[in-house]
Structure 1
Amino acid sequence: ALVNILSEPKNSLIKQYTAMFEMEGVELDIRHDASEEIAKRALDRKIGARGLRSIIEDILLDTMYETPTKKNIIKVVIDGSVVRGESEPLIVYESPDPKTAVSE
């Protein structure tokens, strides 16, 4: 149910954060396994749907502040490993050379 709350309503949290990144010209891709991990974390902390925003904000905060200052970022990918703290978000840069387009 929490996974649906993240993505399905018209003003869902994922849609809100996607819109914020789009204002900077960056596509935000929150993978399904990330949504599941976010929901699991909310259940584990017993914070339910109201706590989903704080979890997403914790995950995206650094990236949201760094994105406007870095040039040529076209996409940020969040998967389950990012939510678990095992890796950093995947940042995709615009590049004339496709071999150098992906970082981190």
Structure 2
Amino acid sequence: MSNENSTNNSETALKCSFCGKSQKEVRKLIAGPTVFICDECVTLCDEIMGEEFETSFDINASQKLPTPKEIKEFLDEYVIEQDLAKKVLAVAVHNHYKRINQPKKSDIELQK
């Protein structure tokens, strides 16, 4: 009878659906509708996704960034007058693209 009890405990032990580690082997086990994932697999997934996003931004960074003058010339084709607004917008767009194409600083931590 005690033998059946031990097999039931091993069958009901919760395990990560990805790496197979038991609940006792990891710090946290997150439950989904029919699966479980451990904190280690979540961290690994986060690293993989981060690498993919960095790669996609690197591709955009290789494209030539238009100068504010080029952006204003483009706006001149579509917007009549409003020279000051076009200049301000052209500089703002140029600075925005410069900022988003810079590599992220990994040492910055945001807290709530």
Confirm or deny a common fold (TM above 0.5).
no
TM-score by length of 2: 0.25
TM-score by length of 1: 0.26
Instruction: Kindly indicate whether structure 1 or structure 2 has the higher relative contact order, using CA contacts under 8 Å at least 6 residues apart.
Output: 1
